[in-house]
Amino acid sequence: MKGAEPMGTFNLRARLEYREKNQAKNGNALLVGLIAGEGLSGRGSESAREVVQLFDVFKEANKLKKLTTFVKTLESGKLFKQGMDIDFLSIGIEGAAAHTLVATAVCHDLVVTRVHPYASAKTPTPGTSTPKEVDSTYSVVTLDLKDSDKGFVTSRV
């Protein structure tokens, strides 16, 4: 089946374009997990076993006008500053087993509304969509979609 990934996991690589002091900038970051909405218990990528299930996370994020992700704190401090406008965000979805690009999700006009360190619990909280790799070296980043008519557009490669 096209888009099926035997390991059931994906690598998520973000490329973003933004402005800083009226100068165009861009950057790349490895994302670990996506959750539709603002909390840690929405529809998340952690349970996605096929690309179509990951696309459902983006559809839900479009409805909620928010997407939450986890980024290494060092990268989040450079690229995802609270209040920052993002002109363009492209998320490359790679199959974890083969490390090949299988799909993309792109979105224009976002704003970083929340950035805070992830306070990991000693035991996983039931009902959360937090990936198991996430620990205290990560930050939680919430992005709001600014334009109510636009959102993430997904496509297979």
Q: Which of 22, 10, 155, 153 is nearest to 88 (CA)?
A: 153
Place of tokens 């799909």: 103
Spatial contact of 126 and 41, defined as CB atoms under 8 Å apart: no
Alpha-carbon distance of 71 to 69, in angstroms, equals 7
pLDDT at 120: 61
pLDDT at 156: 95
Place of tokens 């928010």: 66
pLDDT at 125: 58
Q: How many Cβ atoms from other residues are within 10 Å of residue 90's Cβ? A: 14
Per-residue pLDDT of the chain (157 residues; tens, 9 = 90+): 444 433 347 899 999 999 988 899 999 999 988 999 987 876 788 878 889 999 999 999 999 999 999 998 888 888 999 999 999 999 999 987 777 899 999 999 999 999 998 876 445 555 667 777 788 888 999 999 997 678 999 999 8
Spatial contact of 42 and 65, defined as CB atoms under 8 Å apart: no
pLDDT at 7: 37
Task: Find the length of the chain.
Answer: 157
End-to-end CA distance of the chain: 14
pTM (two decimals): 0.86
pLDDT at 46: 80
pLDDT at 63: 95
Instruction: Quote the strand ranges of the chain, DSSP E.
Output: 10-20, 23-36, 66-72, 85-95, 101-117, 138-145, 153-156
Q: Which domains does the chain have, with CATH numbers?
A: 10-156 (2.30.110)
Alpha-carbon distance of 42 to 56, in angstroms, equals 12
